[in-house]
Amino acid sequence: MSMLKGADRSTWSAYLPSIQLVAFVEWTGTGLFLAVSTIYFIQVVGLSAAAVGAGLSIAGALAMPSAVLVARLAERFGPRRVLVGVDLLRSIATLSYLWVDGWPSFLCVTVAIAVAEQSSPPLVQAYVGAQTTEDLRSRVMAVQRTIVNVGISVGGLIAGVVLGTADRGTFHWLLLGGASAYAAVALLLLVMGGDRTAPRARRSITPLLKDRRLLNLTLYNAVLSLWTPMLNIAFPLWLVTHTDVPERFVGILYTVNTVACIALQYPLNRCYRTTRSSWSAYGAAGGLLAVSCVGFAAAPGFGVRGAVSVMACAVVVLTFAEVLQVGASWTLSYELAPEDARSSYLVLFNLGRTTANRVAGPLLMTGVVIALGTAGWMVLAVLFVLASIVPVFVLRAQHRVESSVLQPGG
């Protein structure tokens, strides 16, 4: 609460604690689920790692068309009401893992989870947009993401402690805890206000799919969103297969990322409060990601201690890029989305990030980066360098337009 001052403090004295409590409860449940789910599928359900990976990828792809339906529901009933339904679905699906006994049932439940996971972030962003003024949105979302990281850390810590003496019953209790957290989020959202004054859209979804600004920004943001599979897939595989660093350092370096993200999220929000600064943040993020790729590529050339140090630096650089990219995407997607169709625009915009994280990203990281080794990291670095140049042309074009408007007779 101390992060908002003066008039901001009085304006959001009631709103901010409520939405951040929701975020903390939701992501503590997510931290529990993420820490236990893969181990549960393999050790308890008896699926292979390949079957789990294939199921998660297929579920992510199958869930993507649901974004259009969720967007339309959010425009009709308001993002908060739809979020209530999404979190109830998430709670029921998480609980349903207790009855999964093979790959078909695993896939069915995972599709439901994927629908909820893909729908929730843009709906939360739409809800914040409906409840806050333009000058406050990036700051509220920065606080929101800080709470998200704290929640994941708390949930992961609880799961880590409990799993130290894990048996089948322990997994069940952790899944029940995650399901209960999502049910509690649905209840909290149910008693919160905010949708009654939301405008109701009457436009078709087709114009959104023809909006070139939306499509271009979605594609560009998807490229910079590749930091997620880079961190979650390429980095741990690279550490395990190409260095002599013990596997336990994967968890330690993930903690470095989480702690740095918590520390940087709010202080860096000044870097993406306006459209112009957000494009600059995008460019900086691309450059930092390229530097991070070079760091990961160079790590195997050092001894164990040197490799850990180089990878830690690469993770910190990646975290700076992560914070800037995510923050810039908030501001620019808000600026792009008209008020009467905000949920539709934000849900569709989020599809680019989903594609990068769940479809293209895993294939790129395993089929190019890890398969080609150092050359693969260099290919990814070049992609990020090219992405870092795009804002230069965008800002120049904007400057020309502004100059022509200001000229006499313009």
Q: Tell whether the model's pLDDT for residue 93 goes beyond 80.
A: yes
Could you give the dihedral angle defined by the CA atoms of residues 384, 389, 395 and 398, in that order, rounded to the nearest 10 degrees? -100
Where residue 124 falls (left for φ over 0; alpha for ψ -120 to 50; beta otherwise) is alpha
Residue pLDDT, tens place only, 349-404? 888 888 888 778 877 888 888 889 999 999 999 999 999 999 988 888 776 765 65
* Residue labelled with tokens 């539709």: 344
Q: Are residues 215 and 259 in the same domain?
A: yes
Q: Tell whether the model's pLDDT for residue 14 goes beyond 60.
A: no
Q: Are residues 273 and 371 in the same domain?
A: yes
**Cα separation, 314 vs 297, whole angstroms:** 10
Q: Tell whether the model's pLDDT for residue 6 goes beyond 60.
A: no
Q: Are residues 305 and 295 in the same domain?
A: yes
For residue 320, the one-letter residue type is: F
pLDDT at 11: 45
Of 200, 221, 242, which residue is a domain's last? 200
* 3 located within any domain: no
**Cα separation, 286 vs 391, whole angstroms:** 10
Residue 355 sits in which domain range? 201-410
Alpha-carbon distance values, 266 to 138, 170, 179, 231, 254 (Å): 9, 36, 29, 21, 20
Q: Are residues 327 and 183 in the same domain?
A: no
Q: Are residues 189 and 208 in the same domain?
A: no
* 209 located within any domain: yes
Q: Are residues 193 and 237 in the same domain?
A: no
Q: Are residues 212 and 290 in the same domain?
A: yes
Count of residues in the chain? 410
DSSP 248-308: HHHHHHHHHHHHHHHHHHTGGGGGGSSHHHHHHHHHHHHHHHHHHHHHHHHGGGS-HHHHH
Q: Are residues 127 and 238 in the same domain?
A: no
* 323 located within any domain: yes
Please, what is the average pLDDT of the chain?
A: 81
Q: Tell whether the model's pLDDT for residue 166 goes beyond 60.
A: no
pLDDT at 174: 83
Could you give the dihedral angle defined by the CA atoms of residues 217, 218, 219 and 223, in that order, rounded to the nearest 10 degrees? 100
* 47 located within any domain: yes
CATH number at residue 288: 1.20.1250.20
Q: What token pair was written down for 365? A: 């990281």
Q: How many CB atoms lie within 10 A of CB 144?
A: 22
* 6 located within any domain: no
* 324 located within any domain: yes
Q: Are residues 192 and 267 in the same domain?
A: no
Long-range contacts from 397-404, C-beta under 8 angstroms, 24+ separation: 398/275, 398/276
* 334 located within any domain: yes
**pLDDT confidence band for 4 (50 / 70 / 90):** very low
Q: Tell whether the model's pLDDT for residue 199 goes beyond 70.
A: no
Q: Are residues 273 and 406 in the same domain?
A: yes
Of 200, 225, 249, which residue is a domain's last? 200
Q: Are residues 260 and 156 in the same domain?
A: no
Alpha-carbon distance values, 83 to 74, 80, 395 (Å): 8, 5, 36
- Degrees (nearest 5) of the Cα angle 226, 229, 231? 100
Q: What token pair was written down for 255? A: 């903690």
Q: Total domain count for the chain?
A: 2
Long-range contacts from 33-38, C-beta under 8 angstroms, 24+ separation: 33/94, 33/155, 33/174, 33/175, 33/178, 34/152, 34/155, 34/156, 35/155, 35/156, 35/159, 35/160, 35/163, 35/174, 36/159, 36/163, 36/171, 36/174, 36/175, 36/178, 37/97
Of 139, 166, 200, which residue is a domain's last? 200
For residue 55, the one-letter residue type is: G
* 1 located within any domain: no
Q: Are residues 394 and 259 in the same domain?
A: yes
